[in-house]
């Protein structure tokens, strides 16, 4: 994975999409990892018979992790998430094939010299919007810069 720098990105740039299959194991593991014990995320019988869903489905935190993975896969390991908002439109059921993509909508350098990229992201299931996200992340300006070293007032997400 290579590191992207602020100057290498332009407004309107698209991220390389992330495509993956959502397995039952992934849904349950994601719920366990985030300590979400709702039966909607691990109990097929409850999810289908009691709650009326088609299957168990990804929780919000797991979807947020997929958005973050898209960013680190595309921009490198030194990016630092500042803000992440998620709007879930429909469940992402086990057995789904998902595509996560995004576009750079705005970029700025703050008063402390931190480079910020703002993205609109989408999680699609069968080309239909399941969730969207607005994300701001700090990216290095150059090889010597590291957003993870910013502290106190120098960190203004």
* Tens digit of each residue's pLDDT (9 = 90 or more) over 7-26: 999 999 999 999 999 999 99
Among 45, 39, 44, which Cα is nearest to 95's?
A: 44
Q: Residue 19, Cβ neighbours under 10 Å: how many? A: 11
Q: Which residues contact 141 (CB under 8 A, 6 or more apart)?
A: 5, 6, 7, 109, 113, 115
pLDDT band at 90 (very low <50, low <70, confident <90, very high): very high
Looking at residue 156, the DSSP 8-state letter turns out to be -
The pLDDT, as a whole number, for residue 87 is 97
Question: What pLDDT, in 10s, does the model give residues 46-55?
Answer: 999 999 999 9
Give the bridge partners for 102, in sequence order.
Answer: 121
Quick one: tokens of 2?
């290579």
The pLDDT, as a whole number, for residue 74 is 97
pLDDT at 1 over 80: no
DSSP line for 75-97: H-TT-EEEEEEEEE-S--BTT-E
Segment 75-95 mean pLDDT: 97
pLDDT at 70 over 80: yes
CATH class of 6-154: alpha beta
Cα separation of 140 and 147, whole Å? 6
What percent of the chain lies above the pLDDT cut of 90?
Answer: 97
The pLDDT, as a whole number, for residue 52 is 96
Segment 83-90 mean pLDDT: 96
E strand spans, the chain: 18-21, 80-88, 97-109, 115-125, 128-139
């Amino acid at each position: 994975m290579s590191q992207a720098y602020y100057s290498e990105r332009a407004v309107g740039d698209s991220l390389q999409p992330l495509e993956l299959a959502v397995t039952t194991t992934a849904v349950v593991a994601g719920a366990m990892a985030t300590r979400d014990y709702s039966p909607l995320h691990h109990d097929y019988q409850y999810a289908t018979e009691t709650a009326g869903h088609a299957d168990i489905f990804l929780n919000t935190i797991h979807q947020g992790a997929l958005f973050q993975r898209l960013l680190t896969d595309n921009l490198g390991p030194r990016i630092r998430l500042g803000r992440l908002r998620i709007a879930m439109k429909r469940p992402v059921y086990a057995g789904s094939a998902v595509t996560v993509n995004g576009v750079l909508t705005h970029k700025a350098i703050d008063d402390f010299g931190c480079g910020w990229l703002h993205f609109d992201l989408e999680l699609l299931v069968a080309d239909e919007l399941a969730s969207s996200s607005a994300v701001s992340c700090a990216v290095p300006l150059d090889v010597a810069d590291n957003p993870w070293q910013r502290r106190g007032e120098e960190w203004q997400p």
